Chains A and B, each alone.
Chain A
């Protein structure tokens, strides 16, 4: 019974949030910018067509960098807006738990980004039209990208709870996400390898989003990568709850 109640509450929040997303022009602008940049980077910077390879590596390699700005932008209003308007008190006096609200809001934002990601489907059609791609890496690439977006979103959701200013929330989220990207960015790990002991380099690169996304781009699903993104999401959402708790106290 209890889990049923949780499900009802979470889905109620989810619906309310999703509606809010698509009720505002910002969502369409967000998705349009996302798609435009994705196409631009893939075709004009990575030269997808000129490389002549029927795979989506040139496309997926831009995802972390686009998420770095777009996901915090999508997440910044999650709590900051409620804090600013004072509606947070109202929300939290509903007969539902903070956890349910957090999860509901998170899932709605995640689904929103998922929709944006799904709208990149012409890429898949293109690559299938041009050549004979291996479907495995395309599927795992999308799974990896979606999980990584979830991790970015967790961070964004957490920072959004910290402050009532959306701009500060955005900047904080970008900074934290940038750390997570750079930690696994090959040039950075190579630089670290010059002076840091091997275990430290390994630990830091293990924290990075990129090192966990890279094998999924190749077509290898690793339980560890999935668990890693799951852990980041869990941790940031939990921290989100604690921050809200302290805000109320």
Chain B
């Protein structure tokens, strides 16, 4: 059977023309244009590094103003440290994702602040000053978000904060979208705004606690008295610190504030060690109804005793002991996936309570700080006793307790019946039921999701537990010794941002170092360190002996040095030269294994395959020749 084929090309001849080519071009362009509207993208990196979280995408799609991200980065390739170079490249890649999602409203601008350039002036204008490299050059690596008349700056992009990169960038983009400074309202039973001295003018009194001063740098901080009966609409974040004796009206106001979508930070303490003396009770109270509505069970008569996170303290009898009521939390106790705690290293919680989720709670609880399993709940009365007494009766619960949690959900009112009745007025006013349920904008259920960060301790806010002040030549120097303040600032910053900002997770890192090289470096150090130390010791000895000999020589200048002495000096000088040489070799050896590995790797990748291919070619050629001879 034969098949008849048309002469080549004839079938398609009418199509194969300039017109056809144009048609193909138009079709292909159209296909590409249509596809550009489809978001079919697969991020196959391990930590989904190039996928912005939903929160960021939401913020980017709702930008109120055209926003520019101005990146100031010194491109001088020779002196910039390698890790900064790599990180800068990744940052640019990552920012291009922002540009992609910004739908034209967000642009990325690059500036290279060379010395005496316009870009350098601009960087300075944004407060981006750069750092001096050991080589004398100045390295700029910062960025500014600019929208309308607002600007927010990250003066130095810190590669160690890589996991927070998205949060940091999105936060400043969100910040420049509004002109107002956010307001924080604080209700506190502790004198966080400073305690006015008796009979003294207010300004003479002790200063506010440090966290208030820090919050005031970026926010308007407003005091709300525990006796107040309402919360101003303009409050963006409400902090309840050791809440005690809140009026029912204020409790209701807090409840409604949360239902309107406001976020809360609550520091409830079973035993406040920083509360002024003579207080009848040291425990927070007055939140029972609200806790119930939030699905929280918290026994404020008990504190967590944790022997794994115990703190060394000077006891009443002036003896140093490890006290398990005072919790020194380290990184293991902190949630690495939550933006608030991801970067923190340590917290100090003096007598903290445990936050439990009620079995029927419909809300999402995310642990921020957690005790070790070697912990138990203990009556706060036991605080008076020493660690020895505690240890005697201690029985570990075996499961950790949550000491701080983030509760998210669309909350229901703790006052389903409406505003509480005014106890002052005594009996019900006629017809008072009506406005309670329908009037005054009473909400029974939240208008949207809200977040409560609930911490089982309020003392962590007191200066003494995170900062030491020193007076140095008339200057007050403050030194932070843990992350208590950062915890509060992080929480505040996150809760004040939009809901979208809260959803941004701590992300994976781009960093993938050569683990083998690192291991070699460590091994070489271990191997050569002893030798290096020994050589250093010997060179010190030799130097000392030489010095002694030189002194003898001076003292006995008139005397002619014996030949033996001269020889001794020469021998020591020789010895010193030899040790120095050996020391150099040792230091070179530190890198030798790595250099050898580098050379091997370079050789294999540059030449080995080339040899193989060339050999294959030659064998093939020879075989062909042999074949043709035959």
Contacts and interface: CB of A to CB of B under 8 A. Distances in A.
Nearest to B13: A245
A17 interface: no
Given A52-B82, A132-B512, A241 B46 contact: no
A214 to B, nearest CB: 8
A80 to B, nearest CB: 19
B254 to A, nearest CB: 45
Report which residue of A23, A132, A190 has the largest number of chain B beta carbons within 10 angstroms of its beta carbon: A132
Given A93-B8, A132-B515, A223-B40, A28 B50 contact: no
Contacts of B629: none
A53 B513 contact: yes
B601 A126 contact: yes
A119 B53 CA distance: 38
Contacts of B608: 122
Interface string A48-90: 0111111101000000000000000000000000000000000
A248 B9 contact: yes
Contacts of B605: 39, 42-43, 122-123, 126
Contacts of A215: 50
Interface string B501-515: 000000000011111
B610 interface: yes
A219 B49 contact: yes
Which interface class (under 10, 10 to 19, 20 to 34, 35 or more) fits A?
Answer: 35 or more
Contacts of B16: 98, 241-242, 245
B555 interface: no
B14 to A, nearest CB: 11
A79 to B, nearest CB: 14
A227 B93 CA distance: 22
Interface in A109-140: 119-120, 122-123, 126, 129-134, 136-137, 139-140
Nearest to A125: B604
A234 B604 contact: no
Interface in B503-540: 511-517
Nearest to A55: B512
A51 B9 CA distance: 54
B90 to A, nearest CB: 9
A220 interface: yes
Contact of B86 (A51, A98, A238): A51
B514 A131 contact: yes
Contacts of B197: none
Interface string A201-241: 00000000000001100111111100110010011001101
Contacts of B41: 220-223
Interface stretch (A29-37, A148-156, A164-172, A173-181): A29-37
B516 A224 contact: no
Given A52-B514, A93-B7, A220 B609 contact: no
Contact of A51 (B11, B82, B110): B82
A95 interface: yes
Contact of A231 (B28, B45, B607, B609): B28
Nearest to B43: A220
B620 interface: yes
A5 to B, nearest CB: 8
Contact of A122 (B9, B13, B36, B609): B609
Nearest to B107: A198
Nearest to B599: A49
A140 B44 contact: yes
B435 interface: no
B567 interface: no
Interface of A: 5, 22-23, 25, 27-29, 31-32, 35-36, 39-40, 42-44, 49-55, 57, 92-99, 101, 119-120, 122-123, 126, 129-134, 136-137, 139-140, 190, 214-215, 218-224, 227-228, 231, 234-235, 238-239, 241-242, 244-245, 248
Q: Give the 3 A-B residue pairs with the shortest CB-CB distance, closest first.
A: A28-B617, A39-B606, A136-B44
22 contacts: A28-B613, A28-B617, A32-B614, A36-B610, A39-B602, A49-B602, A92-B9, A97-B5, A97-B12, A98-B12, A126-B601, A131-B514, A131-B515, A131-B516, A137-B45, A219-B43, A220-B43, A220-B44, A221-B41, A223-B35, A224-B36, A238-B21
